[in-house]
Amino acid sequence: MTMKIQLATALLCASLAFAADTIPAAGQIAPDFTLPSQDGSKISLHDFKGKWVVLYFYPKDGTTGCTIEAHNFQRDQAKYDQKNAVILGVSVDSAGSHKEFCAKQGLTFKLLADTEKAVSQKYGSLTNLLVAKISARNTFLINPEGKIAKVWTGVSPAQHSAEVLAALAQTAR
């Protein structure tokens, strides 16, 4: 009996540690927000009505997976421009951290500082890593009318930009 209780307690703790708010689904209006970018400007989702938005959440500036993912989005920037799409990266890092990351990695798209963790939570993309809350690696493709067209959760950084471009090519016809 004790073993069952320990197992149940461990499973409950594990599920609570990784529980996030509900992830908005395709077809829903994307929750609006305003966050500071790496250059200090305030960026709001509603400013991009009429454009496709690739809103990607990532754990931490400068880490291997996050750097690979950002480099691939940067590499494909011209393809996104051709599709009338903007890329917005979000993590709980500060605008200063984003500024350093962009300068070091040559990133030109906006990285947004969700230091209050409210936007990550609104998008069901806030998770616990040991003692810190970070953004989970999730992406939302938002159409020009502000509706979520596609959602990816737990993405693989190396192939993700290609996946997003493929979906954009299919949905943006």
3-state SS string for the chain:
CHHHHHHHHHHHHHHHHCCCCCCCCCCCECCCCEEEECCCCEEEHHHHCCCEEEEEECCCCCCHHHHHHHHHHHHCHHHHHHCCEEEEEEECCCHHHHHHHHHHHCCCCEEEECCCCHHHHHCCCEEEECCEEEECCCEEEECCCCEEEEEECCCCCCCHHHHHHHHHHHHCC
Catalytic residue among 20, 35, 66, 165: 66
Q: In the annotation, is 66 catalytic?
A: yes
Which residues are catalytically annotated? Answer: 66
